[in-house]
Structure 1
Amino acid sequence: MGEDLFWAIRGGGAGSFGIVIAWKVQLVDVPSTVTIFAIVRKWENNATKKFVHRYQRRVSKIDKDLSLFLGFQTSNTSDEQGNTKIEIIAIISATFHGSKDRLLPLMQKEFSELGLLEEDCTEMSWVRSIVTYNNFRADDPLEVLLNRTVNFDAKAFKLRSDYVRKPVPDGVLKKLLDRLYEEEVGQSYVEFFPYGGKLSKISESEIPFPHRAGNLYNLRYMASWKEGENTTSTNKHLSWVRSVYDFMTPYVSKNPRGAYLNFRDLDIGVNPNESDTSAYNYIKQASVWGTKYFKNNFYRLVYVKTLVDPTNFFTYEQSIPPIIPH
């Protein structure tokens, strides 16, 4: 297929260039045993706040075998008198490539505030951990991963993403999480997805995906709601995501403000009308969203698109555009 096209479809959104009918992957080694855990902590606890403060500064630098995820949402809880209230909870989960005997001392050293216990941890094979994290039952056979027609509860959602290169100040983070109260209980989320490790060892231009060294984590804002809600209700959810995204503008990556391709975000722009026959203006408008996903790799993707699909047959709202002729 040629080096350029092979480069483009490995991270550039393969749907812009054709239909992939066969694929061969080079596997990487994983240990026979991995350890996972998922624990819940109350955000208002000082220990949780100390953990989050340290998490921002250490998560991209800790042991390469540990991937530590952090999410926040609101939840109904009851006090000792049986009174129900809404509060923010932190969900901390991890996959560790190794046994819990190695993981526990590491967590005690790096994040002692969590108080992780042996009974919080479960050892299993790596592929079994994928079954677990995809919300299948613990005793489901591995073959469920081959099922392409599994239907989970249908929900509409809006998700926007950012890249964080410097720790978000504690006061700003508090204001961000306080906004979770503005949405319906359990329907809004703020998530941290750690970077660092192997991601930082690969150059930005190796494949189209450019978000490499220097990123602490990917930050995600999401609201979900039942399919079929009325327009007013839907707009309320959309407005919540857009408002928190705007609020975080000063604290995330800049020039461009990065975004993760797999969280398709039409708010950052769509392809211009092809009736604009000025190639310069056409690409300039598409680059508004293109450079957020791909940085300067966007322009190489345009070059490849022009070579392999000059008539723009494979197109959608944010497909890579070809250089259209004058």
Structure 2
Amino acid sequence: MAAISRSLAPALFFIVLFCFASVPSLASSDGFLQCLSSAIPKQLLYTQSSPSFTTVLVSSTWNPKLLTPSTVRPLVIVTPSSASHVQATVVCGRHHDVRIRVRSGGHDFEGLSYRSVRPEVFAVVDLNKMRSVRVNRNAATAWVDSGATLGELYYAVSKASKRLAFPAGLCPTVGVGGHFSGGGFGMLLRKYGLAIDNVLDATLVDAEGRLLDKKAMGRDVFWAIRGGGGESFGIVLSWKVKLVPVPPKVTVFSVSKSIDEGAIDILTKWQQVAPSLPEDMFIRVQVGVQKQVAEFQSLYLGTSGALLQLMERRFPELGLNQTHCKEMAWIQSVPYSYLGSAATVEDILNRTYSLDYSNKGTSDYVREAITKDVWVKIFGWLAKQDAGIMVMDPYGGKISSSPESATPFPHRGGVLYNIQYLNFWPAATNGASHVKWLKDFYAFMGPHVSKNPREAYVNYRDLDLGENVVVGNITSYKAAKVWGEKYYKSNFKRLAIAKGKVDPHDYFRNEQSIPPLVAGQ
């Protein structure tokens, strides 16, 4: 294992003297805060008594339902500006028995990056100040800090080269750290796979406060951090990624079809066509944004003329024509696809969130096409009062060509598409009927999606799938399998073994973190 970073040496030396000269018998919040203050500039620490505490807490929160008065909030928010600050926080936390949660963009569906479900004394390391993107155009690589957003990554890549891109998510405000930790897919997934399929190296602060690169952390841990979920193996500070080529012009379209226009027949056909199209073609579907309407959104790595010929041969049912198509640079397709036709490239740098609506989400994977009669019933569900939406991303191509064991993300060959279920309601209301609709609809979908296990995507985290049980101060592996095998299938055991190597005492944990599995268990 690598030694502690030299940049930490002066601060850590003082911490060791301060903390270990006399070891307290009980964990002390005051001692933890004093320990932090000895190593980290005061302006980077926000305790609950700080005037800016709530502002900082809310700054990377996109779900108001997780900010109620009953929310278990952190003792302190640490906003490090260097690796040494993160290392010092871990050392102080370990000594004073204060656990750490880590936030990059704040999009965690269940807010576990900044809140605890049960009463607990914990701190948040908010990586907002660590957001550098360093592009090497000649090598077609980049180092990106975990606190950067996807929008900031895409923007920096486009400034370096109009012919390079990176295959990750659609939403530009998502933080790199959390997104990569769960896998990360977007509109380039069929051509280039997941974000983690294109990660070459990383820097990790482990539970001992050591700063490790790929070689130092070892093959198993490097495998685990690329899709094994955030906040289980340590704190990933930065990622080295392989950039991918894109043509000078891509083509996008958005076509809406109502039930009267044949939406159900077209969607039934889409399930078979979309995963088998050439890898340069990606067509996702949103259903429910407009009642009884399916919206088909596409990115094609080529010209509109070539796209129209392809669609005429493979998917004429959609009725695509030239008026639907827009050619643009790849970087322009990012705001267009997520923010709309009026958005500019600079808009993807906006890190602010609207807190007008609360939300709840979950996910499924489909391996056998859903029949037309079931789609009729699905549209009936989506027409109900307080209904939510479905977002479906087709697989096939590069994402499906790797074996399930290549990374912790196992949803590869045989998957037709992923389903994301979402529901929204005004923040001023409790949303009980909206949550009930989502749970009831999820139950209805059970017979029509993957089974044994019913698969789910960890970046669409859902605590209804199961929560950890702590036994003897260690997360139970047996209890965690209930949710873990849905996210990771047979990779879950390997993740637990990797956790046992890098964090056997289970310091980094939350309600759905990987438990340590060590010899003898």
How would you bin the TM-score normalised by the shorter chain? 0.7 to 0.9
Pair 1:36-2:252 in alignment: yes
The 5 A counterparts of 1:1-326 are: 1-46=217-262, 48-73=263-288, 75=290, 87-135=291-339, 138=342, 140-142=344-346, 144-147=347-350, 149-152=351-354, 154-184=356-386, 188-230=388-430, 234-275=431-472, 282-323=476-517
The one-letter amino acid of 2:384's match is E
1:221 shift after superposition: 2.1
Whether contact under 8 Å (1:16, 1:305) holds in the other structure is yes
The one-letter amino acid of 1:102's match is A
Q: Partner of 1:79 in structure 2? A: none
CA–CA separation in structure 2 for the residues paired with 1:22 and 1:54: 41
Whether contact under 8 Å (1:36, 1:123) holds in the other structure is yes
The one-letter amino acid of 1:290's match is G
1:108 shift after superposition: 1.5
1:64 shift after superposition: 0.9
Q: Structure 1, residues 183-238: CA drift from partner, whole Å, max 9, x if none?
A: 33xx61122210111011111011110000001001222211111203xxx12111
Q: Closer, same or farther in 2 for the Cα pair 1:137/1:311, shift >3 Å?
A: farther
Structure 2 unaligned spans of 5+: 1-216
Q: Partner of 1:80 in structure 2? A: none
Q: 3-state SS of the aligned residue for 1:44?
A: helix
Q: 3-state SS of the aligned residue for 1:244?
A: helix
1:320 shift after superposition: 0.7
Whether contact under 8 Å (2:268, 2:375) holds in the other structure is no
Q: 3-state SS of the aligned residue for 1:59?
A: helix
1:114 shift after superposition: 1.9
1:323 shift after superposition: 3.1
Q: 3-state SS of the aligned residue for 1:16?
A: coil
Q: Structure 1, residues 1-34: CA drift from partner, whole Å, max 9, x if none?
A: 2111111111111321111122210112111111
Whether contact under 8 Å (2:332, 2:344) holds in the other structure is no
Whether contact under 8 Å (2:251, 2:299) holds in the other structure is yes
Q: Structure 1, residues 254-285: CA drift from partner, whole Å, max 9, x if none?
A: 111100111001110011133487x8xx2111
The one-letter amino acid of 1:140's match is T
1:136 shift after superposition: 6.4
Number of equivalences = 304
Q: Closer, same or farther in 2 for the Cα pair 1:317/1:33, shift >3 Å?
A: same
- CA RMSD across the alignment: 2.0
The one-letter amino acid of 2:246's match is V
Q: Partner of 1:78 in structure 2? A: none
CA–CA separation in structure 1 for the residues paired with 2:400 and 2:319: 29
CA–CA separation in structure 2 for the residues paired with 1:299 and 1:177: 38
CA–CA separation in structure 2 for the residues paired with 1:200 and 1:4: 22
1:67 shift after superposition: 0.6
Q: Structure 1, residues 108-154: CA drift from partner, whole Å, max 9, x if none?
A: 22221221121211111112111222316645244x4344x322353
Whether contact under 8 Å (1:74, 1:180) holds in the other structure is no
Which gives a bigger RCO, structure 1 or 2 (Cα 8 Å, sep 6+)? Answer: 1
Q: Closer, same or farther in 2 for the Cα pair 1:70/1:141, shift >3 Å?
A: closer
Whether contact under 8 Å (1:71, 1:191) holds in the other structure is yes
Q: Closer, same or farther in 2 for the Cα pair 1:43/1:136, shift >3 Å?
A: closer
CA–CA separation in structure 1 for the residues paired with 2:369 and 2:345: 41
Q: 3-state SS of the aligned residue for 1:25?
A: strand
Q: 3-state SS of the aligned residue for 1:20?
A: strand
The one-letter amino acid of 2:482's match is V
Q: 3-state SS of the aligned residue for 1:7?
A: helix
CA–CA separation in structure 1 for the residues paired with 2:231 and 2:363: 21
CA–CA separation in structure 2 for the residues paired with 1:133 and 1:17: 34
Instruction: Determine which structure has more spread, i.e. the larger CA radius of gyration.
Output: 2
What TM-score, normalized by structure 1, do the two folds share?
A: 0.88
The one-letter amino acid of 2:299's match is T
Whether contact under 8 Å (1:74, 1:181) holds in the other structure is no
